[in-house]
Amino acid sequence: MKDSLIFRRLVISGILGWIALFGAIPVLLLTGVSFLQRHPSDLIEAVFSMESYARLSDPAIGSMLFKSIMMATMATLLCLLIGYPFAYIVARANKCHARTMLLFVMIPFWTNTLIRTYALVAVLKADGFLNTALIFLGIIDAPLKIMYTQTAVFIGLIYTLLPFMVLPLYAAIEKLDHRLLEASRDLGASRWTTFKKITIPLTMPGIVSGCMLVFLPALGMFYIPDILGGARTMFLGNFVRDQFLIARDLPMGAASSIAMTSLMGIMLLIYYRNLRRSGRTVRL
Amino acid sequence: MNKFIKAAYAGLVYIFLYLPLVVMAAYSFNASKYSLSWKGFTFKWYGILLSNTALLDAAIHSLTIAITSATVACLIGTLAAFMLQQYRFKGRKAVFGSLFIMMMTPDIVIGISLLVMFLAAGMALGFWTLLMAHVTLCVPFVAATVYSRFRGFDNSIIEAAKDLGASEYQVFRHIVLPMAMPGLIAGWLLSFTLSLDDVIISFFTTGPTYEVLPLRIYSMVRLGIKPDVNALSVLMIIITVVAVTMSRRLLKEKK
């Protein structure tokens, strides 16, 4: 009996210790650093200061933040718009087809996003596949300038993150009880009403996790603006990286990333609160 | 008609997802170095890869990290899932919560917060810091995969074993572990791919002494299209496809 207790205690304290060391402490340290001041030679100085947070409202930084959030939001919405009908088609296809269709979403999902971003260059560049094909078909005369613009970054975000939207949506739609939709139609609801009142609320958990899986990386993936947007495009991810590795302003980098994640955290908290209040259970 | 629209729509999405990959794969066999035009089929770029020692070193580093971190993450993740399934203790809900938060935390935040911790501890960035970072990335995913496997468990088997005098460790070793095995292997493959695919966390947590493949590719890619990078990318995609299909098969078989 004593052996069992020791094993049990060992496992619990080990896991709790691991979570504390690698889950909690780094984030606490990061939060701590965001309230300190930068020091020219020692990186940080142990003086409490809100300066980094105050600087978030600087016109230059503020507009960069606004641009990043807008870009990420638009990419998320477009992924949802493209991904929802697609996930619906996959989920409603017959079992055998659905399995193959799903596999072909999994492959890009698991392929290195850096490699997929790089693959896009050959399609988008001035003498790339897209321009060559469009000129060949006579649709355009001169090559479109897409590469090294914000449009390229936008296309890149949607291209790399679409599978991250489709998979959670598929999981939610697949679980949807078809009888509920039939019942709704039998009781006289139109297709649109059924979709709005039954399908969307029931697949909401999938929509939320899909949006999270797209929105958060869209803010952080600094290599997409780097590769597709050229040198001058600055988004939150690049900004944080530059603060850490080039400007060596750790408090600023910490503050901007913490402000962003807490914003997301609050949004999620509100969502789950509302969900609990409306009586539906969520499985994390 | 309806069916046709559905098929066409799905087809368009697949073209969007695969066209760049197909174009890249085609380029990797193109004899011409710069232009789009087809100058004949060649394996030249794959040959060049094999003679690039810096690249091969980075590839070996990547595989070493992926295999080690997947193994360590499986160990910790399985114990965590076992603990959540078997034990009732104070803070159990908090463990669920923190694992969920760790899973949802953006890579860039994981990367910089670990970097701050390593800097504070005065650790040199290299193999060990990278390993710890990748384990941190993978554990929540393993725990979730294995835990979902546990949910279908018949608890009476465990109780029977205990009644017959098995210790907690014996229960874990001889009953829980074998039953969780497919989930565990799937979790391992998942971690392996996660680690191999990661760019952002590696970017912050490794140093010049231990360069990994995605970072090497990153510094090459910034200089534009290169046929040998195409070839390398194709090889990495193949590794990913093999790992994904294997883990899917494993999860499906035992259902």
In a domain, B222, yes or no: yes
The answer to the question of residue B30 being in a domain is no
Q: Shortest Cα distance from A187 to chain B (angstroms)?
A: 24
Considering only CB atoms, which chain A residues are within 8 Å of B112? 30, 240, 244, 253-254, 257
Given a cut of 70, whether residue B32 has pLDDT beyond it is yes
> A residues 177-196 near B, CB within 8 Å?
none
Q: What is the pLDDT of residues B103-125, one digit of tens each?
A: 888 899 999 999 999 999 999 99
Q: How far apart are CA B44 and CA B231, in angstroms?
A: 9
**Residue A218 near residue A231, CB atoms below 8 Å:** no
- Please tell me if residue A30 touches chain B, with a CB cutoff of 8 Å: yes
pLDDT above 70: percentage of residues in chain B: 96
Q: What residues in chain A have per-residue pLDDT under 50?
A: 281-284
In this structure, how many other beta carbons lie within 10 angstroms of the beta carbon of residue B29?
18
pLDDT tens for each residue of B165-178: 888 888 888 888 88
- A40-73 in b/e form (b: 16+ CB < 10 A) is eeebbeeeeeeebbebeeeeebeebbeebbebbe
Interface subset of B 193-212, CB within 8 angstroms of A: 193, 196-197, 199-200, 203-204
pTM above 0.90, yes or no: no
CB contact A66 to B (< 8 Å): no
Q: What is the C-alpha separation between A221 and B168, in angstroms, rounded?
A: 44
Map residue B32 onto helix, strand or coil.
Answer: coil
Give the CATH number, domain containing residue B226: 1.10.3720.10
Report the distance separating Cα B73 and Cα B138, nearest Å: 6
Q: Domain count of chain B?
A: 1
ipTM given for this complex = 0.87
Helices and strands: H and E segment counts in chain B: 12, 0
Q: Which residue has 């929802």 as its token pair?
A: A84
For the record, the structure tokens of A204 come out as 């909401």
DSSP assigned state of A23:
I
What pLDDT was estimated at residue B99? 92
Is residue B20 in a domain?
no
Among the partner-chain residues A7, A244, A257, the one whose CB lies closest to the CB of B169 is A7
Domain assignment of residue B202, given as a range: 53-253
Asked, for residue B9, whether it belongs to a domain, the answer is no
Q: State residue A2's pLDDT score.
A: 66
Residue A39: φ, ψ to 5°: -125, 135
CA-wise closest residue to A202 among A188, A181, A185: A181
Between A33, A106, A121, which is nearest B225 by CB?
A121
Mean pLDDT lowest for which of A157-171, B1-15, B27-41? B27-41
Residue B205 and residue A245: Cα distance in Å, rounded? 12
d(CA A31, CA A258): 7
Q: Nearest CA of chain A to the CA of B12: how many Å? A: 10
Q: Which two tokens stand for residue B2?
A: 């309806």
Domain ranges of chain A: 58-277
Residue A281's pLDDT is what?
Answer: 46
Measure CA A173 to chain center: 20
3-state DSSP assignment of residue A139: coil
Architecture (CATH level 2) of domain A58-277 = Orthogonal Bundle (1.10)
